[in-house]
């Protein structure tokens, strides 16, 4: 499914506003399946947040280890919403 530029812009706006709202919640855990694709999403978001490449993030002291395959990946909901918003804005 492809989004039109107008749809992508509105989706990005909504995600950005939602990320701000999520940041005010007491618990921000967002559990996702431990797949290669989801781990790549988390790594990309972490690198984006720090203004570095994924490779640079992996080498940094801030990088963390992927959970074992039988465990979920736990990320911050507001953090991923903000990153996805950025990615949608980046499509324009």
**Where in the chain are the domains?**
5-89
The DSSP call for residue 66 is P
| Mutual angle of helices 77-89 and 36-50, in 10-degree steps | 80
Residue-level pLDDT at 92: 46
pLDDT in tens, 53-86: 999 999 999 888 999 989 999 998 888 999 998 8
CA distance 22 to 20: 6
> Is the pTM for the entire model greater than 0.95?
no
| Mutual angle of helices 5-22 and 77-89, in 10-degree steps | 160
Residue-level pLDDT at 24: 84
Question: Mean pLDDT over residues 84-90, rounded?
Answer: 86
Let me know: does 55 contact 43? Beta carbons within 8 Å: no
């Amino acid at each position: 499914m492809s989004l039109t530029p107008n749809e992508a812009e509105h989706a990005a706006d909504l995600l950005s506003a939602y990320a701000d709202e999520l940041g005010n919640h007491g618990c921000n855990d967002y559990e996702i399946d431990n797949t290669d694709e989801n781990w790549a999403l988390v790594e990309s978001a972490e690198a984006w947040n720090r203004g570095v490449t994924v490779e640079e993030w992996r080498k940094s002291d801030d990088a963390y280890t992927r959970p074992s395959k039988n465990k979920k990946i736990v990320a911050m909901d507001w953090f991923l919403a903000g990153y996805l918003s950025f990615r949608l804005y980046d499509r324009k």
